[in-house]
């Protein structure tokens, strides 16, 4: 039957056996040539290479993984693909792993646990050699499956004494406390918060509010952006704060640099001066923080280091080396002009 392109190409998937035939050796030798070239004679190696070029052979990693029980795949689950805070360390993490022969299977979980559970199972079915998870709160089912998988698991961007396996992150409550103390020390008697709908942001916010209230004896109003942080959401939240509370002077701790930037834009549009009338603190130290006007005071976490540490912990564990299981990266308040 004339099926055009298809019956030719689809069936034409070259195997090691094909390459071997062309090179005058068996399939096993081809396999060896690829994974242990030192165990194959120079001459054979050349003939095999020629055969590979001639056929356009691409090894079948699926078969390889099944036979060797090593997939060279590392799964990674992050809350959002469009949030630079997460993708920036993923870029580092992937890169580091790639250089060591691993590929990263990346998925977005959203911020709810249910979809994380399903994703974990799907990912485990690909038999990854290791797994990265964002955050430390996972369902019992997930923990059980992860443990049953018997692979290294890194939990990042938060910290706990009882990680599933490895943990690289920092303490969100401590960050909230630190900002409260920073702002009080700067002389602010009033403060408010702008917070996105994400568990860790809420933890920072409540730690901040609790501590600032103690220090100043003043309540800390919060404007929840009710979703993902963005410049638009920050503007809206700032507007809400001013329109619906008597907050006119003080400092605002935002759960993200994005909403902080939005807050600044809104304030300026309304004629407020930043930081003289209202000071703004962000979170995340995104690349633009230093470039906006006024430059944004924010909480920085070394995401590059996080990506590296997460990757090298996994790699070390994979190679059977002893590793530290909990890394507290800490954070730093970067004082710039906005607060």
Partner DNA sequence: CTGTTAGCGCTTTCAG
Partner DNA sequence: CTGAAAGCGCTAACAG
Q: Where do contacts with a second copy occur on this chain (CB under 8 A)? A: 6, 9-10, 12-14, 56, 58-63, 65-66, 71, 73, 80-82, 84, 87-88, 90-91, 94, 103-108, 121-127, 144-145, 147-150, 230-232, 235, 258, 262, 265, 268-269, 287-288, 290-293
Instruction: Determine contact, residues 242/221, Cβ cutoff 8 Å.
Output: no
Least distance to a second copy, CB of residue 112, Å: 14
Secondary structure class of 297 (helix, strand, coil): strand
Nearer to DNA, 21 or 240 (CB): 21
Instruction: Determine contact, residues 89/304, Cβ cutoff 8 Å.
Output: yes
Nearer to DNA, 81 or 118 (CB): 118
CA distance 146 to 165: 9
Least distance to a second copy, CB of residue 171, Å: 25
Find, among 215, 292, 225, 287, the residue nearest to 254 by Cα. 225
Kindly state whether residue 52 participates in binding DNA, applying the rule CB under 7 A.
no
Determine the interface stretch with DNA among 25-33, 110-118, 299-307, 321-329 (rule: CB under 7 A). Answer: 25-33
Residues in CB range of 147: below 8 A, 6 or more apart: 164
CA distance 279 to 297: 9
Strand partners, 285: none
Candidate residues 28, 54, 114, 304; the one interacting with DNA per rule CB under 7 A: 28
The binder of 288, among a second copy, DNA, none, by C-beta within 5 to 8 A per type, is a second copy
Kindly state whether residue 7 participates in binding DNA, applying the rule CB under 7 A.
no
List binders of DNA among 69-88 (CB under 7 A). Answer: 69-70
Least distance to DNA, CB of residue 69, Å: 7
Instruction: Determine contact, residues 280/297, Cβ cutoff 8 Å.
Output: yes
| Run of H or E including 19 | helix 16-23
Least distance to DNA, CB of residue 53, Å: 15
Least distance to DNA, CB of residue 93, Å: 25
Residue 65: alpha-carbon gap to chain centroid: 26
List binders of DNA among 191-230 (CB under 7 A). Answer: none
CA distance 274 to 40: 69
Instruction: Determine contact, residues 325/289, Cβ cutoff 8 Å.
Output: no
Nearer to DNA, 44 or 80 (CB): 44
Sign of CA dihedral 111, 117, 122, 128: positive
Candidate residues 12, 13, 50, 98; the one interacting with DNA per rule CB under 7 A: 13
Nearer to DNA, 58 or 185 (CB): 58
Instruction: Determine contact, residues 306/158, Cβ cutoff 8 Å.
Output: no
Site for DNA, rule CB under 7 A: 13, 15-17, 20, 24-29, 31-32, 34-35, 38-41, 43-44, 57, 59-60, 63-64, 66-70
């Amino acid at each position: 039957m004339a099926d055009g392109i298809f019956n030719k190409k689809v069936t034409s998937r070259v195997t090691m056996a094909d390459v071997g035939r062309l090179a005058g050796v068996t399939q096993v030798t081809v396999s060896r040539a690829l994974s242990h070239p030192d165990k194959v004679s120079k001459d054979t190696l050349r003939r095999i290479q020629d055969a590979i070029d001639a056929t356009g052979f691409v090894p079948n990693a699926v078969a390889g993984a099944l036979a060797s029980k090593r997939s060279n795949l590392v799964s990674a689950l992050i809350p959002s693909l469009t949030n630079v805070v997460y993708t920036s360390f993923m870029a580092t993490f992937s890169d580091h792993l790639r250089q060591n022969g691993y590929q990263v299977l990346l998925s977005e979980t959203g911020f709810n646990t249910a979809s994380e559970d399903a994703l974990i199972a799907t990912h485990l079915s690909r038999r990854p050699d290791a797994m990265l998870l964002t955050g430390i709160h996972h369902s019992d089912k997930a923990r059980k499956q992860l443990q049953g998988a018997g692979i290294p698991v890194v939990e990042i961007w938060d910290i706990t004494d009882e990680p599933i396996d490895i943990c690289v992150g920092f303490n969100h409550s401590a960050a909230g406390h630190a900002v409260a103390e920073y702002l009080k020390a700067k002389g602010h008697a009033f403060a408010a918060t702008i917070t996105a709908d994400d568990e860790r942001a809420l933890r920072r916010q409540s730690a901040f509010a609790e501590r600032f209230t103690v220090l100043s004896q003043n309540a800390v109003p919060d404007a929840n952006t009710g979703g993902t942080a963005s410049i638009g959401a920050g503007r809206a939240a700032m507007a809400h704060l001013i329109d619906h509370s008597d907050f006119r002077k003080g400092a605002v701790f935002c759960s993200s640099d994005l909403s902080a930037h939005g807050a600044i834009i809104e304030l300026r549009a309304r004629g407020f001066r930043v930081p003289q009338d209202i000071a703004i603190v962000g979170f995340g130290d995104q690349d633009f923080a230093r470039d906006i006007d006024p430059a944004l005071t924010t909480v920085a976490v070394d995401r590059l280091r996080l990506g590296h540490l997460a990757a090298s912990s996994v790699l070390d564990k994979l190679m059977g080396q002893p590793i530290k299981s909990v890394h507290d990266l800490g954070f730093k308040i970067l004082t710039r002009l906005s607060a």
